[in-house]
Amino acid sequence: MTPVQDTPAAPDPAFSDPAAREPVGTEPAAAPRPPRPRRGLRAALRWTAAVVVFAAVAGGTAYGLTEQKRSDLPGLATESDGRWDYPVLERPALPKDAPRPFDQRNPAQAHYADPRALVLPAPAGARPDPGLRTDGGWMSTKSFLAQFEADEREDLSTDLNDAGLRHITGRAWTMPDGTRTRIFLLHFGTGAQATAVADDLADGTSPQRYLRGAQSAEYDEYFPEDAHGADVTVYPFDEPSPHGAAHVRQAYLVAGDMVGLVIQARKGTAPAVPFQQTVALQSELLG
């Protein structure tokens, strides 16, 4: 089957307006949890771009994944390893003369494309998750905070506002096997602001904020070192056994002025391959 071409959203001047923020409601405190571990050294992983490359199209302002053998590309499913069938990806067009985030002409490492066009599309067979709604592609701060334990939300909300959070966008879906995926992209004013928030969320050894339903997580040593885009730092974490009601995998992505969070959960065991594939492709769109 020929992969479906992903049609990116056109750059929208409205996306530069600050996103509305919703107050965080007061909820009962959760049961005591183990103390949060000390921050460790940042584990900066680099993708060597051995299996996927970007080719310039449309006058050099948009970039698409070139199609190689289906078994070589992390974005295309195979019958044997459990990868999902994602559409061919294309980076959205940039405004005229706007640099990419890691261009030397862009010291703020800013993404000038519409953030909504940078969210990974759902794979074939996915159904939208009605529990995570967006408004024209934008997501409320309250929806993002709801992913975390109740006693994390107030402090995290303050940190996001102090760091100059501009927008949140994202997407969520569920696959036929019950694996639920949630992706969030947080857009800040500069790369320095995004890095500060990322350091508050995770370090190279463990998450610094607990996700709801995953009060334990450790660095995923089995996550491939090349499974993310160049210039994008990834912190992958896995929930150790015994799992809670669902097995939760999570990864934070830091790319210039954006911070991403990918969460996959499934009752029983959340498979590793689709998680690695999803993180890899999302990071390529941000690079």
The amino acid present at 203, given as its one-letter code, is D
Mean pLDDT of 1-19: 39
| Residue 59, pLDDT score | 31
Identify which of 246, 283, 284, 243 has the alpha carbon closest to the alpha carbon of residue 264: 246
User: Would you call 161 exposed, middle or buried from its count of C-beta atoms within 10 A (0-12, 13-18, 19+)?
Assistant: exposed
The structure tokens listed for 269 are: 């065991």
User: Would you call 274 exposed, middle or buried from its count of C-beta atoms within 10 A (0-12, 13-18, 19+)?
Assistant: buried
Euclidean distance between CA atoms 119 and 116, whole angstroms: 6
Identify the CATH class of 48-286: alpha beta
Instruction: Give the dihedral of Cα atoms 206, 207, 213, 218; nearest 10 deg.
Output: -10
| Residue 244, pLDDT score | 85
pTM: 0.76
Give the pLDDT band (50/70/90) at residue 80: low
* pLDDT (tens digit per residue) in 177-226: 999 999 999 999 999 999 999 999 998 789 999 999 887 999 999 999 87
Mean pLDDT estimate for the chain: 79
| Residue 107 or 57, more confident | 107
* Strand locations in the chain (E): 54-57, 62-65, 90-91, 127-128, 167-174, 180-187, 218-219, 233-238, 247-255, 258-266
